[in-house]
Amino acid sequence: MSLYSSDRPDFMERIGKLAGGTAYRVPTEGRGTRTEQLPDAHAIATALAFAKQGPDDIGPDVAYCWVLQSDAYRQKVVRQLSAAMRCREFQNHGQHRLAAADMAWEVMIHNRKPSTPAPADCSPAMWDRMLLVALGVLHSKAWDAVAEAERRYHKAA
């Protein structure tokens, strides 16, 4: 990215900046080049703590796991995402919401292709729709958490 680029910083750059790193430093042997001894995962968690808007807010958890490709909050997020997908369109597919939320987690956090085909009693179009909704929610929650963390961090500074 050049100095005068109009490109927006990507997700990892924004998290790195919040956690005290910059795009110009190259991590060595699993540690950043910062002088303090706070592990990177702890710095990221601390930075995202600014974005927490209550115990049921999954955004910072999704952002943390996405950056570190971790399953630390997987069960909590997948359960809450499945519950959030209760809507009229998916009311006849309640038994598949949890599986769709879990598959969306795999796709987003671990960058894997969907490995499970649509269940036999669910049309491929409906399964794809459920996956897309779950992915969209995860993605927007993570980006919103970073934006909120940046806003609160700069407000506190």
What are the tens digits of pLDDT across the range 88-105?
777 777 789 989 999 999
Per-residue pLDDT of 9-38, as tens digits, reads: 688 888 888 877 655 555 555 555 555 667
Q: Is 0.85 surpassed by the pTM of this model? A: no
Residue in this structure with the two tokens 């115990």, named with its chain if needed: 55
Of 27, 24, 59, the C-alpha closest to 40 is 27
How far apart are alpha carbons 37 and 127 in whole angstroms? 45
Domain ranges of the chain: 1-157
